[in-house]
Structure 1
Amino acid sequence: MAVMPTPRAVYAEDPARSRGRRFPEAESATRTPFARDRDRIIHATAFRRLKEKTQVFVAHEGDNFRTRLTHSLEVAQIARSLATALGLDADLAETIALAHDLGHPPFGHAGEDELERQMSDFGGFDHNVQTFRVITRLERRYPRFDGLNLTWETLEGVIKHNGPVSDRLNRPSWRAIAAFDSEFDLRLDGWASAEAQVAAIADDIAYNNHDVDDGVQAGLFRLSELLDVPLIGPILADVQRRYPDTDPSIQRLEAVREMIGAMVGDVLAETRRRAADSRVATVEDVRNLDHALVGFSRDMAEDLARLRSFLMERMYRHWRVNRTRSQARRILAEMFQLFMAEPDVLPTEWFARSQKRDEDGPAQVVCDYIAGMTDRFAIEEHRKLFHLEVWN
């Protein structure tokens, strides 16, 4: 039986009515503005670097664990599926999903924590702001402007996919956002589009599921220990009942696949309920709500909170992970302090940037350089800076 396409939702973004780009450009003859944004992100240098950036593990610890790149692709796939089922613009949802991790530094949350510590006297560090810096300034590919010159809707979705952010503009780390917003108003006091909200919740779905998968593969906890965990436990028990003679690794993958399906189904039902209850009829209605339009049901949110508690205890705070985090923090701290004390050891282009008298300052340039590194490059750069024998 053929699957009937979902009618376009009345609150879906329309690419033909985009608010445009900061620097006007002729429209593409073959792509919508949102599809063009997606392609610009995929071709960006920062996107390629995601292949050796990680969240929990470090890139050299194994080839089977997710990287920021594979995670972003999984988020984009889930976001596109959700958007299609809800009658939203799938290109915009996919674009925001692909862009959401571009500002993450090497070594996952450990790297983010250390850059926040090193930048505490210079305005701080926020990976969402760094993502925005990447797409509006740091990517240099075009003769007429820095950044990727993405549409208003993509920029809005990237910076506020988790909700309004106007209360953060007084933070030093957000000065780049405040400056950009003063020239290209992103309406930071309201919710983002439904497509952006879909990208945000697709991120939650993806990382909760792949952390379960990666945690078992890494030996941080056993498959059997998941049987007592809400959501994944009942699904895994049912899989084992239906496929008792199947290899445990296949049982794990089937349980994760079915958990993704359960979470997606919950989001679709809850979002449709909220849209009906709130009588959402336009794109502006979505932005003006006092709550998110896209979300999990209360029961699903409670189950996910308990799953995250299990992962926090058994995975994110595992002693093996803690050791890696400790090493990662030291690597970034030592490089940051050396570059600040001796900027002439920076690569030529970055040294030149550090000497400019502009709004960024040397610390921000050093931070940008380090944040753009992959795990592997950061390890090698540290070795070259602190261990002479690598030059022999």
Structure 2
Amino acid sequence: MDHLYDDADRERLVPEPPKRVDAPVRRAFERDRARVVHAAATRRLAAKTQVMGPQADDFVRNRLTHSLEVAQVARDLARALGCHPDLTETAALAHDLGHPPFGHNGERVLADLSEACGGFEGNAQTLRLLTRLEAKTFDEQGRSVGLNLTRATLDACTKYPWTRGAALPPAGVHSDGTVRTVLKFGVYPDDEPVFDWMRRGASGTAQCLEAQVMDLADDVAYSVHDVEDGVVADRVDLTRLDRAGLWQTVRDWYRPDADDDLLDDVLAGLQAVESWPTERYDHSRRALAALKNLTSDLIGRFCGSVQEATFAAGEGPFVRYRADLVVPEHTQLEIAVLKGIAAHYVMSADDRVALMSRQRELMAELVEGLLLRGPDALDRPFAQDWEEAVDESGRLRVVIDQVASLTDASAVTRHAAVRG
């Protein structure tokens, strides 16, 4: 499959000489994957909220474990379709790197506070991190170009390949239950030069196929795994579902067009999966094994239907801009039902809603405090960025970059230090 990608796909912002002859030979996309795996931002994902905070329970997902699971789904689907598994896996590993503390809840606060410097969006922050903030390579002018990934890998990491001005009004609900109030876009104004370089050869605002695979893998992983976490936390009982309330949540959050009869049929299809439980989860080893079998069966079900539909839609090759991923409507509905189960029983819980309110207060106070104290309160790389900023807008962006880099725990600690 390497021959399906050309020199432009493998081009880097800063050309790199071949590795020394005694080093292991790795192809371009393999090197990209290694750089993301070893990035400091990847390690920080272990302490960032997925749905419930990392401190909530030893079993629940955090951003890192979620990203690893998305990467596995993306790699398997890429291999089945014939696009490059290393490239697609790297995009999946990187897809959440730009998320701030407290997930979409924190993203909402940073978006509100960053209007003066071009807004905030987790995916735009991912591009900024990969091409600027994460230290690896510098250009001839002494400017950081981040991890210096290939064009094809950066493009695959870009879920929303357009500017803020081209973004549609937000609608619906995030996977963690927060209402979408943040415009979805993929690049800040001062990162547009690298964005334009990355998108050379792309058509309009289209996602490349590898980005589509990453996007679907993310959708599949959290729809299945959020339900699994809810079952283990005794918040979800798959043998006793309140259909009236559940279907209303599905309509309110994900599919306003779906009526009760349609959703009943979709649920019946899911319940017909052989591993769907018939008894309440009892925390035994056998019950956990059965639950794991269910998640595996559902992921296989969704990916299999997408692979079949994609192959039926064209001859390929299924790489870059030469084909599109096809997700059948029934598969989309099954994923929406699983999301609705997690939303209804986990994300709408009163204790979680109260916690999220306090998290937003903390994030706003942290940004305010760092702006007042300036470089003395920032990590050294961001303090240097502050000194190089030419105006208030630039300094605001530096503070937003600093806060976005923090984990949930370090945001709390930094807040306490800044507020005194």
If the length of structure 1 is used for normalisation, what is the TM-score?
0.83
Rounded to whole Å, the distance in 2 between the matches of 1:64 and 1:284 is 36
> Which residue of structure 2 lines up, in the alignment, with residue 52 of structure 1?
47
1:80 deviates by: 0.9
1:281 deviates by: 5.0
SS at structure 1 position matched to 2:115: coil
Q: How many percent identity over aligned positions?
A: 32
> Which residue of structure 1 lines up, in the alignment, with residue 298 of structure 2?
259
> Which residue of structure 2 lines up, in the alignment, with residue 165 of structure 1?
162
Rounded to whole Å, the distance in 2 between the matches of 1:122 and 1:328 is 23
> Which residue of structure 1 lines up, in the alignment, with residue 335 of structure 2?
304
> Which residue of structure 2 lines up, in the alignment, with residue 234 of structure 1?
272
> Which residue of structure 2 lines up, in the alignment, with residue 216 of structure 1?
231
Rounded to whole Å, the distance in 2 between the matches of 1:305 and 1:222 is 18
Q: 1:202 aligns with which of 214, 217, 220?
A: 217
> Which residue of structure 2 lines up, in the alignment, with residue 4 of structure 1?
none
SS at structure 1 position matched to 2:297: helix
> Which residue of structure 1 lines up, in the alignment, with residue 73 of structure 2?
78
| Cα-Cα RMSD | 3.0
Rounded to whole Å, the distance in 2 between the matches of 1:234 and 1:215 is 21
Residue 140 of structure 1 pairs with residue 135 of structure 2? yes
1:358 deviates by: 4.1
For residues 18-72 of structure 1, give each alpha carbon's deviation from its aligned partner in whole angstroms, at most 9, with x where no partner exists.
Answer: 3411111124561111111001111111111111112211122122111111111
1:125 deviates by: 0.5
> Greater shift after overlay, 343-352 or 121-130?
343-352
SS at structure 2 position matched to 1:30: coil
Residue 362 of structure 1 pairs with residue 359 of structure 2? no
1:362 deviates by: 1.1
Matched-pair contact (CA < 8 Å) for 2:70–2:214: yes
1:302 deviates by: 1.8
Count residues with an aligned counterpart. 367
> Which residue of structure 2 lines up, in the alignment, with residue 343 of structure 1?
374
Matched-pair contact (CA < 8 Å) for 2:236–2:345: yes
SS at structure 2 position matched to 1:222: coil
SS at structure 2 position matched to 1:339: helix
> Which residue of structure 2 lines up, in the alignment, with residue 390 of structure 1?
none
> Which residue of structure 2 lines up, in the alignment, with residue 18 of structure 1?
9
> What amino acid does structure 1 have at the position aligned with 2:322?
V
- Distance change (3 Å), C-alpha of 1:16 and 1:185: closer
Question: Which segments of 5 or more consecutive residues in structure 2 lack a partner in the other structure?
Answer: 168-182, 244-265
1:54-203 aligned at under 5 Å gives the runs 54-144=49-139, 145-159=144-158, 161=159, 164-165=161-162, 168=165, 174-186=188-200, 187=202, 189-203=204-218
- Distance change (3 Å), C-alpha of 1:185 and 1:86: closer
Matched-pair contact (CA < 8 Å) for 1:54–1:107: yes
Name whichever structure is richer in helix by fraction: 1
Rounded to whole Å, the distance in 2 between the matches of 1:330 and 1:209 is 31
Rounded to whole Å, the distance in 2 between the matches of 1:201 and 1:282 is 15
SS at structure 2 position matched to 1:265: helix
- Distance change (3 Å), C-alpha of 1:308 and 1:146: same
Rounded to whole Å, the distance in 2 between the matches of 1:239 and 1:88 is 35
> What amino acid does structure 1 have at the position aligned with 2:25?
T
